[in-house]
Amino acid sequence: MIIRIMGHGQINLADDFAADLTDIDNTLIQAVNADDATRFTAALERLHEIIGQHGKALPAGYLGSSGMIVPEPGTTLDEAHRMLAHGDLSLPGTEGASR
């Protein structure tokens, strides 16, 4: 699975991690919808931990499609709300999520 980290390029991550990423994605959606910054930050950190430990960076010139686009490490819940409202980020179940 190819993952694009906003502002940081693309990572190839084995499909073995798909279930973990789905669980974390669901937690991120719930945190955004509940406006829970603590839960959002913990889930995003866990997501980047998995990507960093198990993923392999793709060359800068790689132009393939991504199966997942994630905010860069350290993104706050307020920043995520702004990205969602602007259309820079899309999380299923968060349509219309804006601040």
What is the per-residue pLDDT across 52-76, written as a single tens digit (0 to 9) for each?
999 999 998 888 888 888 899 999 9
Q: What is the largest CA-CA distance in the chain?
A: 38
Find the domain containing 38 and state its range.
2-86
The pLDDT, as a whole number, for residue 96 is: 42
Identify whether 93 is part of a domain.
no
- Number of domains present in the structure of the chain: 1
Identify whether 79 is part of a domain.
yes
Yes or no: say if 44 and 53 are a contact pair by the CB < 8 Å rule.
no
> What does the block give as tokens for 32?
């955004």
The pLDDT, as a whole number, for residue 62 is: 83
The string of pLDDT tens digits covering residues 18-54 is: 999 989 989 998 999 899 999 999 999 999 999 999 9
Yes or no: say if 69 and 11 are a contact pair by the CB < 8 Å rule.
no
Identify whether 60 is part of a domain.
yes
pLDDT band at 90 (very low <50, low <70, confident <90, very high): low
Identify whether 52 is part of a domain.
yes
Helix-then-strand count for the chain, H and E: 3, 4
* β-bridge partners, 68: 3
